[in-house]
Amino acid sequence: MNCSVCLNEIKENYCSNCGQYFKQSRVSFATIFGDLFDSVFSLEKSFFRNIKTGIKNPEKLASNYWNGFRKFYFSPGKFFTIASLFLLLHYLIANDFLGLVVSSTISSQFVILLTNIFLLTFISWLLYLKFKKNIFEHLILNIYNVSLWTILFVPISIVLSLTVNNNVIEESFFIPYHLLIMIWNSKAFELTKIKRFVFVTINLVLFYGTILFLIYKFGGF
């Protein structure tokens, strides 16, 4: 079999010249679903590698993007897309996220995702102003970390939705969810342990203070 791109002879499943993959089989549902799944999640290495990097070295994803490097790690847009797909899966199972339902003409989970990103971006921009990162750089940071922890908390939320009938228990998981995002945001900056604790605490107070104010002012989102 010769490659359809460069006409080089294909041995096994890859063209040794241009790298095109070849599989001699008819197109089926499994082929389409497998290609779609692979293109979104790249499960053979990319998805888990990016999640692992996001958990172990969260500053690497954002700083790499800030410094102009692209393609090796997932872009913030791809992280956001994957988080949205996870929330869509959650929406098909249960119409809430960690017990919280938002009245909206679109998916309530999607509103929660965007609200978290924009509110946390504004607060982190104010909080870490001395580090001279502009609002768009903070937006990138928060897209990465909000998406990362949303992906990781969706399975937890699904399990809680199916096994727990108490919204208070489910909603209590919002505190570790937001706390982890804030801690991971702080890791992008050079801080001592004491300063990191102070910054994260202020972040938590400002975030939930704003949420409570919005609830009091508008009666919810």
pLDDT tens profile 102-147: 555 555 667 778 889 999 999 999 999 999 999 999 999 999 999 9
- pLDDT of res. 69: 80
Q: What is the dihedral of CA 71, 77, 80, 82, to 10 degrees?
A: -50
User: Could you tell me the sign of the dihedral formed by the alpha carbons of 213, 106, 121, 148, in that order?
Assistant: positive
Three-state DSSP at 97 gives strand
Neighbours of 27 (CB within 10 A): 8
Joined tokens for residue 99: 């017990």
Q: Lowest-confidence range among 38-52, 55-69, 84-98, 163-177?
A: 38-52
User: Could you tell me the sign of the dihedral formed by the alpha carbons of 126, 50, 30, 35, in that order?
Assistant: positive
pLDDT digits (tens, 9 = 90+) for 85-95: 888 887 777 76
pLDDT confidence bin for 213, thresholds 50/70/90: confident
Mean pLDDT, residues 71-78 taken together: 84
Average pLDDT, the chain: 82
Joined tokens for residue 11: 């041995």
Strand partners, 10: 15
| Residue 67 predicted with pLDDT over 50 | yes
- pLDDT of res. 221: 46
Q: Are 50 and 73 in contact (CB under 8 A)?
A: yes
Q: Are 115 and 105 in contact (CB under 8 A)?
A: no
End-to-end distance of the chain based on CA atoms, in angstroms?
Answer: 59
**d(Cα 61, Cα 24) in Å, to the nearest integer?**
37
**Most confident of the ranges 93-102, 178-187, 208-217:** 178-187
Q: Lowest-confidence range among 27-41, 77-91, 166-180?
A: 27-41
Which residue in 70, 189, 208, 85 sits closest to 141, CA to CA?
189
H-assigned helices in 8-134 = 29-41, 46-56, 58-66, 76-93, 108-127
Mean pLDDT, residues 141-162 taken together: 91
Joined tokens for residue 55: 């958990």
The CA angle 16-17-20, to the nearest 5 degrees, is 75
Q: Lowest-confidence range among 5-19, 23-37, 183-197?
A: 23-37
Strand partners, 133: none
- pLDDT of res. 219: 62
- pLDDT of res. 40: 56
